[in-house]
């Protein structure tokens, strides 16, 4: 299994500003994912981040709003840019261990609870 640490665990931000969320995995992983969990709702995939390539964004999410970095096999960042109150959510980092098959489960960080005021 993999242990994933996310920072910050929570933050309150002013609208119009940006926040960068860090995700650190204790082992090398091939694929990392960023999810958004809006209040009272399920998890929605924002993007998939593979090391050495551009992140792949899901429909409804764009790089200008959610730029992602993946500099190595253990780390990724998600930036929420030009925030508005609608961006208030929990943001979760997830990872798939390297060399695993389709039946392998993803591991999750503790999440970052973002409130935009």
Partner 1 sequence: AQSVTQLGSHVSVSEGALVLLRCNYSSSVPPYLFWYVQYPNQGLQLLLKYTSAATLVKGINGFEAEFKKSETSFHLTKPSAHMSDAAEYFCAVKSTGGGNKLTFGTGTQLKVEL
Interacting residue ranges for partner 1, rule: CB under 8 A? 4, 6, 31, 33, 41-45, 48, 92, 94, 96, 102-103, 105-111, 113
- Nearer to partner 1 (CB atom), residue 86 or residue 102: 102
- Nearer to partner 1 (CB atom), residue 75 or residue 108: 108
The token duo for 74 is 């253990």
- Nearer to partner 1 (CB atom), residue 31 or residue 73: 31
Residues 100 and 89: their CA atoms lie apart, in Å, by 30
- Residue that is written with structure tokens 């309150």 in the block: 12
Q: Least distance to partner 1 from the beta carbon of 82, Å? A: 26
Q: Least distance to partner 1 from the beta carbon of 60, Å? A: 14
- Nearer to partner 1 (CB atom), residue 13 or residue 106: 106
Q: Which residues contact 5 (CB under 8 A, 6 or more apart)?
A: 23, 24, 25, 26, 109, 110
């Amino acid at each position: 299994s993999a242990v994933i640490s996310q920072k910050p665990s929570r933050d309150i931000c002013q609208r119009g500003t940006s926040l960068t969320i860090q995700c650190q995995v204790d082992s090398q992983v091939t694929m990392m994912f960023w999810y958004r969990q809006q209040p009272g709702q399920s998890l929605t995939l924002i993007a998939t981040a593979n090391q050495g390539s551009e992140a792949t964004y899901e429909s409804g999410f764009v790089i200008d709003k959610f730029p992602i970095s993946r500099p190595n096999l253990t780390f990724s960042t998600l930036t929420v840019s030009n925030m508005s109150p609608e961006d208030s959510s929990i943001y979760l980092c997830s990872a798939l261990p390297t060399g695993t098959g389709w039946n392998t489960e993803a591991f999750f960080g503790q999440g970052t609870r973002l409130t935009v005021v």
